[in-house]
């Protein structure tokens, strides 16, 4: 049996009481809270001439379901680099009473990853990857930054390969600094995955002369260095998809759980290249993944 991420999650669910799927009742409430967060985010962005558009599965959900993908319960958005810089500068004064911002070069909160998140204060959403880490926990929206590309093909290929390697190494630092007892237990079930775990921890050790925050911030600065507007845009921190600028801007409009939202300008081209020509068709049941969590607390919501 292949010991991949989904297999590990299934085994963990069966063999530990810590990990559990979100109940239908809590999923409904979580989605309601996320829609409220999105509404707040959109209002601040609209008032300050910032484009924030749905990304990835959230964009797919808006087009295919007019809301969340039924078995999905998270939210992803895009901002351009210039809009992100503006948003960072106004966040604390306009949203800081209710929300926390985490991201590279964003503020005093240590970034968990190379992209950003907005957390709703007074809530907790802890999944398996949060276990034994010092980072913020809470109900969140992911923010992915769109950056300009290098002006030539060689530069673009270089950036793509460097981003892939750097993300792998930076994430390895978490394996080394914050060992996850649940993941380690199941990675050690098979020789190949045990060796893989040790390799990731070794890479993490090799860069531990600098903090995880340093590396996330450095990654962010490195890939924001192309100041000249190019015909294409990409998102380095999560994937390496490259689209013509016209696929993103100007934004189009859509509906999401009763909200009017912004979407990539040519959203059908975006979804076709991201998910395939049949993106409007529902995937088979075995490809629909539940969000497994350790704890969910809505606080005063």
Average pLDDT, the chain: 89
pLDDT-derived band of residue 2, with 50, 70 and 90 as boundaries? very low
What is the Cα–Cα distance from 135 to 22, expressed in whole angstroms? 21
What is the C-alpha end-to-end distance of the chain, expressed in Å?
42
- Indicate the domain borders of the chain: 18-157+230-297
pLDDT in tens, 132-176: 888 999 999 999 999 988 888 898 888 888 888 999 999 999 999
Question: Residue 296 and residue 125: Cα distance in Å, rounded?
Answer: 5
Q: Are 44 and 95 in contact (CB under 8 A)?
A: yes
**Residue range 174-199: mean pLDDT, rounded:** 89
pLDDT at 4 over 60: no
* Fold held by 18-157+230-297: Beta Polymerase; domain 2 (3.30.460)
Could you read off the pLDDT of 11-38 as tens digits, one per residue?
666 566 777 889 999 999 999 999 999 9
Spatial CA neighbour of 242 closest among 261, 223, 227: 223
Q: Is the pLDDT of residue 204 over 80?
A: yes
In whole angstroms, give the CA distance from residue 148 to residue 172.
Answer: 27
- Confidence class of residue 281 from pLDDT cuts 50, 70 and 90? very high
Q: Is the pLDDT of residue 1 over 60?
A: no
- Per-residue pLDDT, averaged over 76-101, amounts to 96
Q: Over pLDDT 90: what percentage of the chain?
A: 63
Whole-angstrom distance, CA of residue 181 vs CA of residue 172: 15
Q: What is the pLDDT of residue 111?
A: 82
List the single range of 13-17, 172-176, 248-252, 259-263 with lowest mean pLDDT.
Answer: 13-17
| Tokens describing residue 270 | 């975006």
- Range among 179-183, 240-244, 259-263 rated most confident: 259-263
At residue 109, the pLDDT reads: 75
Q: pLDDT tens, 213-244?
A: 999 999 999 988 888 776 677 777 666 578 88
């Amino acid at each position: 049996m292949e010991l991949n991420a989904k297999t590990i999650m299934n085994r963990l669910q069966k063999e530990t009481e810590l990990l559990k799927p979100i109940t239908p009742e809590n999923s409904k409430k979580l989605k309601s809270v996320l829609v409220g967060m999105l509404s707040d985010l959109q209002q601040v962005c609209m008032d300050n001439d910032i484009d924030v558009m749905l990304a990835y599965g959230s964009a797919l959900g808006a087009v295919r379901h007019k809301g969340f993908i039924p078995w999905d319960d998270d939210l992803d958005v895009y901002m351009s680099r210039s809009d992100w810089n503006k948003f960072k500068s106004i966040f604390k004064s306009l949203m800081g009473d209710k929300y926390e911002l985490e991201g590279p070069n964003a503020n005093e909160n240590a970034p968990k990853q190379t992209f950003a998140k907005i957390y709703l204060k007074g809530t907790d959403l802890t999944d398996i990857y949060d276990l034994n880490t010092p980072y913020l926990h809470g109900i969140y929206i992911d923010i992915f930054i769109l950056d300009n590309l290098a002006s030539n093909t060689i530069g673009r290929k270089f950036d793509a390969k460097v981003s892939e390697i750097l993300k792998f190494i930076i994430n390895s630092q978490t394996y080394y600094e914050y060992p996850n007892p649940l993941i380690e237990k199941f990675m050690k079930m098979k020789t190949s995955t045990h060796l893989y775990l040790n390799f990731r921890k070794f890479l993490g050790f090799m860069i531990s002369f600098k903090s995880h925050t340093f590396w996330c911030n450095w990654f962010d600065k490195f890939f924001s260095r192309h100041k000249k507007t190019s015909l294409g845009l990409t998102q380095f921190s999560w994937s390496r998809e490259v689209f013509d600028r016209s696929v993103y801007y100007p934004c189009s409009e859509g509906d999401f759980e009763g909200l009017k939202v912004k979407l990539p300008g040519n959203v059908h081209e975006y979804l076709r290249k991201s998910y395939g020509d049949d993106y409007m068709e529902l995937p088979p049941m075995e490809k629909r993944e539940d969000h497994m969590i350790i704890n969910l607390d809505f606080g005063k919501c």
